[in-house]
């Protein structure tokens, strides 16, 4: 049975209208310095870092695994071709060689790591840019590209998989490139795509326009594969797709762009959830979405909203460039560990592939961003006003923002890969990782770490049962089935539930109460209350059940692969008050209990917890009774 939720009414319409009203009444141009030339410089530096890794066949060889990986080479071909279009003619021969090699990999069914489905959109993009410059080679390219038979050549097709649950992002990615091949007259037609789009992709969109990846009956819904699938389908629309699904698809993508804008953090990052989170290509795909929709919105006569979308795209470029090294390469995940260490990498993450795929998507963004500099940047929602957003479908996330500060709460209670609690706090005046920016895990799933223990650590309630054992909400509720990282989970498995009992956003503050029910050890119900203003988040937990102590887990950034924080357990003289202070990257964050008699402990199992950004250290506050409260203080 298909359980995916869609709807006709845009669920965040009130928040969107409030934001547009703020833009119209208090116009505020943002001078962020992200000109087209600055963006080109980021892309060029990234592309030129890999020329030295191109072999005599045109392939890009990964310096760490010493082989060609995934779709590194076609990614390079497209990114280099866009730079050739921009006048970097010395890259022409290199781009052409990469394209020739990539086409051969697909036609001869020798794509590295069995990933041919990712090749066509980049091959066709490079082909379109280079064919007029190299007419003799273009004839050979055309002949080879005309030989592709989609159902035979690619992996994620019904002919190969014979399973509708497997028609996931791979299939949409392949279709986007195949549409470009058909548009160039190199394929018979594009009619066969309609059945795939109609049957397997349109049903995955929520009312918010978010794409739910994973099996149709229980999608695991990573934000990374939402944004990247919308990027690929957006390339189709930008290139004139007008098939039977076009109107519905265009509406989904418009909604998705607005939802991504409303949910974007003040540091230009999409929410953290699911596999491939905090990989740089997430924000590259978002930059494309924001850029293209900024143009469409401006054409529709809404310059203020277009300015916010332009600013969102700029912030995504900024988020990526922050992790570009002096030699032009990227830390492909947001930490400073070496690429050899693979800290926070997925099992499939690869340095060269994900650096160059980021480059390819940024190249697409420049290619379809002509004229965006005529749009004056305006603040994004997370930079102005206040809002509370509850995602629909199976994304299980609540996002609260106020005046340059954002808090992300995950509400999945039976998913060990996406644990419940506050999993991210970001503020524009703090380093992005300070909050911290990601939580621990109950199960590492796809993710590997160079060091640190696997533990479900987030800002979450904790309690000691009558047998003396400590538990936490972040542990979630065990399901009846073993966790399947590929197949996903059923959010109803295990019997838990989460309800937004109340929420409000006005006057520079947000207020949320969540009610958690389920078979938690010794506890029937948990209420978590969050009140946020700029510089401060007040948190209160109330538990109903038979417990000895109530507590709170506190995740603290400890190490990012380069810099260690200094964590203080503060005892105030003359008062029975203990608090926590973290010093990191020249800034300070404090966590101060507000319930009398609260003590701070440092459990051994929380001493070194692995997360995508490095290592966390966890504290546990505790007191008697059924309630505990504390304040997270952030510099204003």
For 146, left (φ over 0), alpha (ψ -120 to 50), or beta? alpha
- When pLDDT is cut at 50, 70 and 90, the band that residue 218 belongs to is confident
Q: Is the pLDDT of residue 83 over 90?
A: yes
What are 131-146's pLDDT values in tens digits? 999 999 999 999 999 9
Looking at domain 13-382, which CATH architecture does it have?
Alpha/alpha barrel (1.50)
pLDDT score at 400: 98
Helix (H) / strand (E) element for 254: namely: helix 246-263
How far is residue 257's CA from residue 293's CA, in Å, rounded to a whole number?
A: 7
Q: What is the pTM of this model?
A: 0.96
- Scanning 59-91, the segments in alpha helix (DSSP H) are 72-85
Query: If you average pLDDT over residues 87-114, what whole number do you get?
Result: 98
- Scanning 146-222, the segments in alpha helix (DSSP H) are 150-153, 158-161, 169-183, 192-196
Pick the CATH number of 385-633 from 2.70.98, 1.10.720, 3.40.50, 1.10.3470: 2.70.98
Mean pLDDT in the chain? 95
| Range in 6-10, 216-220, 431-435, 604-608 with the lowest mean pLDDT | 6-10
The total number of residues shown for the chain amounts to: 636
pLDDT score at 617: 98
Q: Where are the domains of the chain?
A: 13-382, 385-633
What are 455-485's pLDDT values in tens digits? 999 999 999 999 999 999 999 998 888 888 8
What are 482-495's pLDDT values in tens digits? 888 887 788 778 88
pLDDT score at 32: 87
Two structure tokens written together for 483: 């966790």
What are 573-596's pLDDT values in tens digits? 656 679 999 999 999 999 999 999
65 phi/psi in degrees, rounded to 5: -95, -10
For 568, left (φ over 0), alpha (ψ -120 to 50), or beta? beta
pLDDT score at 4: 43
User: Rounded to the nearest 5 degrees, what angle is found at the Cα of 455, between the Cα atoms of 352 and 355?
Assistant: 10
Query: If you average pLDDT over residues 277-296, what whole number do you get?
Result: 98
Contact 530, 304 (CB under 8 A): no
How far is residue 94's CA from residue 81's CA, in Å, rounded to a whole number?
A: 9
Q: Is the pLDDT of residue 2 over 80?
A: no
In this structure, what DSSP letter does residue 200 have?
A: I
What are 37-49's pLDDT values in tens digits? 999 999 999 999 9
pLDDT score at 432: 98
Share of the chain above pLDDT 90, in %: 90
SS3 of 431, please? coil
């Amino acid at each position: 049975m298909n359980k995916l939720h869609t709807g006709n009414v845009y669920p965040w319409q009130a928040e969107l209208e409030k934001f547009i009203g703020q833009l119209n009444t208090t116009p505020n141009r943002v001078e962020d310095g992200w000109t087209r030339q600055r963006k080109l410089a980021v892309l060029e530096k990234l592309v030129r870092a890999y020329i030295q890794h191109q072999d005599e066949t045109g392939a890009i060889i990964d310096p760490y695994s010493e082989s060609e990986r995934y779709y590194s080479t076609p990614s390079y071909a497209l990114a280099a071709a866009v730079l050739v279009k921009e006048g970097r003619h010395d890259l022409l021969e290199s781009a052409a060689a990469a394209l020739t090699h990539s086409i051969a990999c697909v036609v001869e069914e020798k794509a590295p790591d069995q990933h041919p489905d990712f090749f066509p959109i980049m091959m066709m993009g490079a082909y379109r840019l280079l064919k007029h410059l190299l007419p003799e080679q273009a004839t050979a390219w055309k002949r080879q590209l005309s030989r592709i038979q989609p159902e035979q050549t690619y992996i994620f097709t019904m002919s190969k998989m014979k399973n509708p649950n497997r028609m996931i992002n791979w299939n949409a990615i392949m279709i986007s490139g195949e549409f470009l091949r058909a548009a160039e007259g190199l394929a018979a037609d594009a009619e066969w795509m309609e059945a795939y789009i109609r049957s397997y992709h349109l049903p995955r969109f929520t009312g918010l326009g978010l794409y739910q990846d994973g099996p149709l009956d229980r999608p695991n819904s990573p934000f990374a594969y939402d944004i990247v699938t919308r990027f690929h389908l957006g390339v189709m629309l930008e290139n004139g797709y007008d098939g039977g699904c076009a109107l519905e698809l265009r509406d989904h993508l418009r909604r998705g762009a607005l939802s991504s804008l409303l949910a974007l953090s003040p540091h230009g990052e999409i929410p953290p959830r699911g596999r491939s989170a905090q990989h740089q290509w997430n924000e590259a795909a978002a930059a494309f979405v924001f850029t293209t929709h900024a143009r469409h919105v401006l054409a529709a006569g809404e310059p203020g909203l277009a300015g916010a979308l332009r600013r969102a795209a700029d912030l995504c470029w900024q988020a990526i460039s922050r992790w570009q090294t002096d030699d032009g390469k990227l830390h492909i995940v947001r930490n400073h560990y070496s690429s050899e260490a693979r800290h926070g990498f997925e099992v499939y993450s690869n340095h060269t592939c994900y650096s160059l795929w980021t480059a390819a998507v940024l190249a697409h963004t420049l290619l379809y961003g002509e004229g965006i500099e005529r749009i004056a940047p305006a603040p994004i929602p997370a930079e102005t006003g206040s809002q509370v957003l509850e995602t629909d479908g199976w994304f299980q996330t609540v996002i609260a923002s106020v005046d340059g500060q954002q808090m992300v709460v995950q509400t999945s209670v039976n998913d060990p890969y996406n644990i419940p609690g506050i999993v991210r706090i970001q503020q524009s005046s703090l380093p992005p990782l300070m909050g911290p920016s990601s939580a621990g895990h109950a199960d590492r799933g796809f993710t590997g770490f160079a060091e640190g223990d696997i533990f479900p650590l987030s800002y979450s309630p904790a309690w000691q049962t009558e047998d003396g054992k400590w538990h936490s909400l972040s542990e979630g509720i065990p399901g009846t089935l073993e966790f399947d990282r590929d197949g996903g989970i059923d959010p109803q498995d295990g019997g838990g539930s989460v309800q937004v009992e109340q929420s409000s956003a006005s006057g520079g503050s947000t207020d949320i109460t969540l009610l958690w029910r389920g078979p938690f050890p010794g506890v029937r119900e948990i209420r978590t209350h969050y009140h946020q203003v700029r510089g401060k988040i007040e948190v209160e937990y109330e538990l109903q059940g038979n417990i000895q102590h109530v507590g709170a887990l506190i995740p603290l950034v400890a190490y990012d692969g380069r810099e260690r924080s200094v964590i203080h357990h503060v005892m105030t003289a003359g008062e029975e008050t203990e608090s926590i202070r973290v010093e990191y990257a020249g800034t300070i964050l404090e966590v101060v209990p507000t319930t009398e008699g609260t003590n701070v402990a440092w459990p051994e199992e929380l001493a070194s917890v692995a997360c995508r950004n490095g290592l966390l250290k966890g504290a546990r506050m505790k007191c008697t009774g059924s309630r505990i409260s504390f304040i997270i203080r952030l510099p204003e």
